[in-house]
């Protein structure tokens, strides 16, 4: 799983040509992954203003609006890829254009249903 983190609203700060270039890069990567059969799926997430966070409470979980993480970066979306190695997944993540715009990527294996990989 490739987890995408970035500053909410960073795309709005880009010029039109920068946005076009960024989305063009994403399209290129997605096309390559689709053609290679490595792409399983992926999705962007709604703006953080639509998020809710649940934390343990006395009788029931406490629900607050927003993610309220102590970070400028928020979880923005993900790609699920089926690669031969962690190195290949890392290569794909290293090409993601958000990295040049203050974002970060986390590469993490997905456990199968038994969880025996742990």
**Predicted confidence (pLDDT) per residue in 80-110, tens digit:** 999 999 999 999 999 999 888 888 889 988 8
- The average confidence (pLDDT) of the chain is 86
In 3-state terms, what secondary structure has residue 84?
coil
Instruction: Give the CATH number, domain containing residue 40.
Output: 3.30.70.1060
Q: How far is the CA of 4 from the CAs of 24, 81, 116, in angstroms?
A: 17, 13, 26
What domain range includes position 77?
A: 2-107
- Percent of the chain at pLDDT exceeding 90: 47
Q: Is residue 114 part of a domain?
A: no
Domain count, the chain: 1
Which of the two residues, 76 and 15, has the higher pLDDT score? Answer: 15
Residue 7, in any domain of the structure:
yes
Per-residue pLDDT reduced to its tens digit, 8-29: 888 999 999 999 999 999 999 9
Q: Is the pLDDT of residue 117 over 60?
A: no
Asked if the structure places residue 113 within a domain, the reply is no
């Amino acid at each position: 799983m490739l987890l995408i983190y970035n500053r909410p609203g960073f795309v709005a700060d880009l010029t039109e040509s920068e946005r076009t270039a960024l989305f063009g890069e994403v399209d290129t990567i997605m096309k390559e992954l689709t053609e290679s059969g490595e792409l399983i799926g992926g999705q962007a997430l709604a703006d953080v203003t639509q998020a809710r966070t649940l934390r343990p409470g006395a009788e029931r979980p406490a629900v607050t609006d927003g993610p309220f993480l102590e970070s400028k970066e928020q979880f923005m979306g993900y790609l699920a890829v089926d690669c031969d190695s962690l190195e290949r997944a890392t290569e794909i993540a290293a090409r993601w254009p958000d990295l040049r715009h203050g974002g970060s990527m986390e590469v993490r294996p997905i456990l199968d249903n038994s969880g025996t990989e742990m």
